[in-house]
């Protein structure tokens, strides 16, 4: 297989080279090489996996804005805020044991 490299990034992987811009180069690669790999010190490297978010990060993103939460408390009370805004997020992203 051949990897097409532009700015140290794999932009295509093919079995046969074809004419490309002088900004690009061809390089032999393994069969598992894919678009998105990078060329680091002459070695093609797969991208690092994106680490999964912690339950805390997931919860923070799932909660409504502070303004919306305060508005809910002011207009409908603490019990409605807990039932509608807090409990569903805690149920979806439970605290790990």
Cα–Cα distance, 31 to 28 (Å, whole number): 10
Strand blocks (E) in 1-97: 2-6, 9-14, 24-28, 38-40, 43-45
With respect to residue 97, please indicate whether it lies within any of the assigned structural domains: no
With respect to residue 68, please indicate whether it lies within any of the assigned structural domains: yes
Q: What is the pLDDT of residue 1?
A: 95
Proportion of the chain above pLDDT 90, given as a percent: 88
Distances (CA, A) of 20 to 34, 56, 97: 18, 47, 55
With respect to residue 30, please indicate whether it lies within any of the assigned structural domains: yes
Proportion of the chain above pLDDT 70, given as a percent: 100
Domain that includes residue 23, residue range: 2-45
Average pLDDT over residues 48-61: 89
Average pLDDT over residues 71-89: 97
3-class secondary structure, 3: strand
32 and 59 share a domain? no
Average pLDDT over residues 44-61: 90
* Residue 50, pLDDT above cutoff 90: no
36 and 68 share a domain? no
Average pLDDT, the chain: 94
41 and 74 share a domain? no
């Amino acid at each position: 297989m051949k990897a097409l490299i532009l700015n140290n990034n794999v932009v295509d992987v093919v079995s046969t080279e074809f004419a490309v811009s002088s900004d690009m180069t061809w390089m032999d690669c393994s069969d598992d090489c894919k678009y998105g790999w990078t060329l680091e010190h002459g070695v093609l490297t797969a991208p690092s996996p994106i680490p999964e978010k912690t339950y805390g990060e997931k919860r923070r993103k799932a909660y409504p804005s502070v303004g919306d939460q305060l508005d809910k408390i002011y207009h409908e009370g603490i019990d409605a805020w807990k039932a509608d805004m807090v409990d569903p997020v805690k149920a979806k992203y439970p605290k790990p044991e």
